[in-house]
Structure 1
Amino acid sequence: MKPNFLFLKYCVFLFSIVLLASCSSDDSTETVTIINPLDNPFDGIPAGNPNGNFPIPAEASLEDVSNPTTIVGDGTPESCTGQVFIDAVTKGGKIVFNCGPDPVTITLNQPAKVFNNTSQEIVIDGGGLITLSGNNQTRILYMNTCDQNQVWTTDHCQNQDHPRLTVQNITFANGNSTNETEYDGGGAIWVRGGRFKAVNCRFFNNTCASVGPDVGGGAIRVFSQYNNLPVFIVNSTFGGKEGFGNSGSNGGAISSIGVSWTIINSLFSHNSAIGNGGNPSQSGTPGGGSGGAIYNDGNTMTLTLLGSHIEANQVNDFGAAIFFVSNDHSGNVIINESTIQNNIGGSWYPSYPGISAHADTDISVTNSTITE
């Protein structure tokens, strides 16, 4: 009975996507309800904070994939290979999967890379059934508007509004970027330029370089978003339970330089910043070990945490939950209807346990719990 149940569930999910699309508008203040197709997973735990109920702005919601550009697979698991998926990403557009009614893991032997001249919108939708795996050997997904190999499309590659990459209703597992040298960090996903968001996603056991003062993002690393607009992370899980956490030198789950984040109804737990020596690295150390869940560095940037839960993350140095350093002291942190608790190791200006920031950083906390 399981295949029939899952197929019915997938159909209901697709109907919900069409329904959401029919109700959308250009008003960024509109809020929507996101239906989570990963509410009965066969591994790990569901996507998102189960207690998160913060309203979702329309721009942070699911993208409509009712008219896909590419369908990966012909209805069987065997047809959904890593190379077929890589080829689909190369073409751009909206990508969905037809791999049968059961959950399927697609294993990659190299990263899928976005070409910047294929389409302005690139959406990868797993329908709640797909796991993309790096097999502990490779990063899974890469986009870089300033990488000439992926085609320059403007003379201001560090600040252009496209491609706009969305990953939704999908799991990223066992990504590993430790063999990457030029673009390090980001075990599962590495992004520079355009826009990026993740909705209804899970990130399990991804890893990047284990040491270094300014490398990180066991799951995701992001640079240079268009006009300093935020990366949206919505209804997503990083780790979630013991044995599923992500790790890297800094930012066990996510890492960035000069990027703002808006994180809504998401869960970060059991992620680790495993470097040591901080940034800059202390004498005799390789550096790193900050930001068990989140590592933000740069100047004017905002970390916004809404309806989210951060627990049981770990560091060797600073910021068991969050490391946030605004070099010119102009950045700020907003925490609303969220919980930060039981994170392990690290301290720095401990007005809020688990958060390391400059003493004069503007940290606004509303209707939230922040404890040891």
Structure 2
Amino acid sequence: MRNPTLILCATALLAACSSPGRKAPVIHDPPPVVCEAPAGPVDVSTPDHVVGDGSAGSCTEGALREAAVQGGIIVFNCGADPVVIPVRQTVVFTTDAVVDGGGLVTLDGGSAARIFLLDANYNVTTPVLTVQRLAFRGGAAPRTGDDTADGGGAIYRDGGSLVAIDCDFIDNHAPATGQDLAGGAIYAFGGGSTTLVGCRFEGNSASDGGAVGSLNGDLIVVNSVFTGNAATGSDGNPGDGGCGGAIYQDGADERTAFCGVTIRGNTAGAIGGGVFRVSNDGTGTFTMERTAVDANTVTETGGGNAGGLYLQGLDLHVVDSTISRNEAHYNGGLWIHTCQVRMTNTTVAGNSAVGSNGGGLWLSGAPTGLLLNCTLADNHADADGQGAGAVFGGDTGLVLQNTLIVGNTGWWGPGCSDTLGDGGGNLQFTGEAPCTAQVTVVDPLLGPLGDHGGPVETLLPSATGPAVGAGTDCPASDATGRTRPIPCTSGAAEP
């Protein structure tokens, strides 16, 4: 099983072995570069192992497996054309390794096998497996498994650390139901961190975390796109899963960081159509910058919640981001439970709670903190007997400042169910179900949600409207990246 011949690559063959300029049909151009990447592609100009001798037929699963045993820098020499390498038995890594496909190589599990396993000790951060310029397709973890080790259709990280750069993960799958059975594409368990840069995740599914699952490890995602992934379980956590249509992360003091990420059109069976992140002891951190969480859905009728994101027990920072067009029975946009909150230049717009309260935000467990220069607009909670189109729950421990609450709707009230804290500069229209005791009731004349420059969609107030100059103690820039004047405009974006 581990005896294929390894071909050592001479310097003259390096261009054929791994050229970043080439693209396989399934490998898309990398997503837009919005944020500075925490890691770039590893230099593979002096590889330790080369899979193949210049022909497509020489690039085999066996040759890759033999290289993986030894680790180091692994590249491919499969000819000038894109190549698909079938993988029918998981390739195992136990030492530091870099696998570079040069934009030409697709590893295909054929819906029969997980593709890669990083096998390390649960509580250590090494070894590090780096995969770059590769496509992973058709990976399949055991479809009827009931253990965390049965997650991760394309890659399962058991300890150690994983870095994926400029990779595609397409149609990979893990068990469809069960608690903590996560990561249709990637499941990271314990140990160190998982860092994803410039990657695309499409059409992956698992009980939790349709694309990515992480349990007791850090998760950093930069300049990446998640579309059409599904968390297929039900009943939540604890329960049979269905948490986090794109991303599921559970644990304690781990770090979560998103920057320049698009999470769009994903579905979950229970909680968090886009993202589910829980810190069980309240010590975790969650940072989201210049990120769009859009058009995600929780499909469970009569019980599903948090169409966009469910966040619990976290030190929470959301900056220059938009949460839009998400839908669930309870709470359409963002559910915040027992968090310390700092949201700045953030738009929550067009979300719907189709059967209950809280179209935009649902606040439970008395979260505290500040919403600074945010826009809560056109969110809906219109079912019979329901309301709080903008915000359900909360108290004066969560302060609104320079924030617009506009165009929200609800059966018994369009604004907020409870009185939140007031830092000044807040405008609401209409004034029914006021969100703070001192809110100014006036129409800021917002335009539609759309591309007005910058990394995410925003709504712009009228340049001659009452929001202009209403804000104090403002951020230096707005959600589009433009410098704010003093005094600034209330809301996420200047006109």
Structure 1 residue 160, shift from structure 2 partner: 3.1
1:137 maps to what in 2?
112
Q: Is the 8 A contact 2:17 2:50 kept in 1?
A: no
1:308 maps to what in 2?
261
Deviations 1:217-249, CA, capped at 9 Å, x for gaps: 0000012234xxx3210000001xxxxx10000
TM-score, normalization: structure 2?
Answer: 0.59
Q: What SS does the corresponding residue of 1:88 show, helix, strand or coil?
A: helix
1:162 and 1:362, CA in 2 relative to 1: closer, same or farther beyond 3 A?
A: closer
Deviations 1:159-213, CA, capped at 9 Å, x for gaps: 3342111000000000001258562100000012222110010000000001101
1:200 and 1:176, CA in 2 relative to 1: closer, same or farther beyond 3 A?
A: same
Return 5+ residue gaps in structure 2 as ranges. Answer: 1-13, 327-495
Rounded to whole Å, the distance in 1 between the matches of 2:53 and 2:79 is: 8
Q: How does 1:47-196 map to 2 (within 5 A)?
A: 47=30, 49-50=31-32, 52-57=33-38, 60-116=39-95, 121-145=96-120, 157-178=121-142, 181=145, 183-196=149-162
1:256 maps to what in 2?
214
Deviations 1:288-315, CA, capped at 9 Å, x for gaps: 1110000000001121100111100001
Deviations 1:36-61, CA, capped at 9 Å, x for gaps: 747x55236433x33x321123xx21
Q: Is the 8 A contact 1:348 1:355 kept in 2?
A: no
Q: Is the 8 A contact 2:17 2:75 kept in 1?
A: no
Q: Is the 8 A contact 2:252 2:283 kept in 1?
A: yes
1:6 maps to what in 2?
none
Q: Is the 8 A contact 1:138 1:179 kept in 2?
A: no
Q: Is the 8 A contact 2:90 2:116 kept in 1?
A: yes
From 221, 231, 244, the counterpart of 1:291: 244
Return 5+ residue gaps in structure 1 as ranges. Answer: 1-9, 16-35, 146-156, 240-244, 282-286
Deviations 1:68-122, CA, capped at 9 Å, x for gaps: 1110000000001111111111121110000001110000110001134xxxx30
Q: Is the 8 A contact 1:13 1:37 kept in 2?
A: no
- Rg: which structure is higher? 2
Rounded to whole Å, the distance in 2 between the matches of 1:176 and 1:141 is: 11
2:195 maps to what in 1?
232
Q: What SS does the corresponding residue of 2:150 show, helix, strand or coil?
A: coil
Q: What SS does the corresponding residue of 2:62 show, helix, strand or coil?
A: helix
Rounded to whole Å, the distance in 1 between the matches of 2:107 and 2:230 is: 21
Which amino acid is the alignment partner of residue 137 of structure 1? A
1:331 is aligned to 2:284: yes
Q: Is the 8 A contact 1:106 1:132 kept in 2?
A: yes
1:193 and 1:37, CA in 2 relative to 1: closer, same or farther beyond 3 A?
A: farther
Rounded to whole Å, the distance in 2 between the matches of 1:68 and 1:44 is: 22
Rounded to whole Å, the distance in 1 between the matches of 2:315 and 2:17 is: 40
Q: Is the 8 A contact 2:196 2:220 kept in 1?
A: yes
1:319 is aligned to 2:272: yes
Deviations 1:313-364, CA, capped at 9 Å, x for gaps: 00111000000011111112111011111011168885xx510122x53321
Which amino acid is the alignment partner of residue 247 of structure 1? S
1:361 and 1:180, CA in 2 relative to 1: closer, same or farther beyond 3 A?
A: same
Which amino acid is the alignment partner of residue 342 of structure 1? A
Q: What SS does the corresponding residue of 2:69 show, helix, strand or coil?
A: helix
Rounded to whole Å, the distance in 2 between the matches of 1:12 and 1:176 is: 30
1:314 and 1:179, CA in 2 relative to 1: closer, same or farther beyond 3 A?
A: closer
Q: Is the 8 A contact 1:102 1:129 kept in 2?
A: yes
Q: Percent identity?
A: 36
Deviations 1:22-47, CA, capped at 9 Å, x for gaps: xxxxxxxxxxxxxx747x55236433
From 223, 244, 248, the counterpart of 2:189: 223
**Higher helix proportion (structure 1 or 2):** 1
Rounded to whole Å, the distance in 2 between the matches of 1:124 and 1:266 is: 19
1:14 and 1:185, CA in 2 relative to 1: closer, same or farther beyond 3 A?
A: closer
Q: What SS does the corresponding residue of 1:83 show, helix, strand or coil?
A: helix
1:14 and 1:184, CA in 2 relative to 1: closer, same or farther beyond 3 A?
A: closer
1:252 and 1:37, CA in 2 relative to 1: closer, same or farther beyond 3 A?
A: farther
Rounded to whole Å, the distance in 2 between the matches of 1:174 and 1:42 is: 15
1:272 is aligned to 2:230: yes
Rounded to whole Å, the distance in 2 between the matches of 1:349 and 1:273 is: 13
Q: Is the 8 A contact 1:213 1:277 kept in 2?
A: no
Rounded to whole Å, the distance in 2 between the matches of 1:214 and 1:349 is: 18
Deviations 1:113-161, CA, capped at 9 Å, x for gaps: 1134xxxx3000000000001011000000121xxxxxxxxxxx33334
Aligned-pair Cα RMSD in Å: 2.2
Which amino acid is the alignment partner of residue 306 of structure 1? C
